[in-house]
Structure 1
């Protein structure tokens, strides 16, 4: 199996601006605009559905903070936060990533689309199909809890003046 390009970038810490145990935030090696950032899960996943909920949560929390940083440091006038999930959506790499793209007036980047006309019947049919599969949307995959370490209280070997003060007779 060939190594994932983005797993390699994470290992080399290439252009990494922030990382923790779950994610890496880095400058995009293929930027749409100056300051284009990407957030990747450190554990390899090809599409978003393979990423644990708690990691997705972490990705979006940091996307919000990174977006704020782009406004404050580069003077961005807006941001697009998006995921290309699967080849038909434009995903070109086999590692899921969250893009934070700073936007500027007249940057000539077009991420818009023409809305399609859909009949009420077709909209209802689609709604019913999707509703059947989204019953568990409210559930959340929690991170496995780490065992609590219990340490022995430190024994005081000599008399502490603070304790002696409390036992003082007036």
Structure 2
């Protein structure tokens, strides 16, 4: 990537695989959870300033900012948008099965009812031992012992 700006924990670069003219990437060296307030503010300010610069300098009709975390770093892809540029960020909606939707609605309602009861009856709520959050592994072994990418995490990575 062509580096345009570098700071202690912040980098602004041209994208290696640009989707449109003026595709910029703002990188923070830490993930969002590890950033302090100053680093977070600097990241979002730089992202906003880059979007404004693209809008003004190349005459974009608008910009899209896509923020994601990968490789333990915070990234913002800034895309200059032109009218009829051919980029489509919309997914076709798929109508859900009514029985399955009712089942999901019932389980959500049941969970809300439990939470409301716990809030109204704190003295009757049994204390649970808190367990550490479960981490989804990047790779999982298959039957032959080979490691393969976890398809759940792979689905989250989308190219802008």
Aligned pair count reads: 104
Tell which has more relative contact order, 1 or 2 (C-alpha 8 A, sep 6+): 1
> 1:33 maps to what in 2?
20
> Can you list the C-alpha shifts for 1:116-142, whole angstroms capped at 9, x where unaligned?
8885984894xx7xxxxxxxxxxxxxx
1:115: Cα distance to partner? 9.0
**Equivalence for 1:65:** 49
Q: TM-score, normalised by structure 2?
A: 0.53
Structure with greater proportional strand content: 2
Matches within 5 A, 1:34-49: 34-41=21-28, 43=29, 45=30, 47-49=31-33
Q: Secondary structure at the match of 1:17?
A: strand
Q: Give the TM-score, by structure 1 length.
A: 0.50
Match of 1:50 among 26, 34, 48: 34
SS of residue in 2 equivalent to 1:65: helix
Q: Does 1:109 align with 2:87?
A: yes
What CA deviation, in whole Å up to 9, does each residue of 1:14-52 have, x standing for no partner? Answer: 5122222231111111211111111112x3x3x432333
Q: How does 1:69-80 map to 2 (within 5 A)?
A: 69-80=53-64
Aligned to 2:27, the other structure's residue is in SS state: strand
RMSD (CA atoms): 3.0
Secondary structure of 1:31 counterpart: coil
Q: 1:115 to 1:66 in 2, by over 3 A?
A: farther
Structure 1 stretches lacking a partner, 5+ long: 1-13, 86-90, 129-170
Query: Radius of gyration: which is bigger?
Result: 1
Residues 1-170 of structure 1 correspond to what in structure 2 (within 5 A)? Answer: 14-41=1-28, 43=29, 45=30, 47-85=31-69, 95-113=73-91, 114=93, 122=108, 125=112
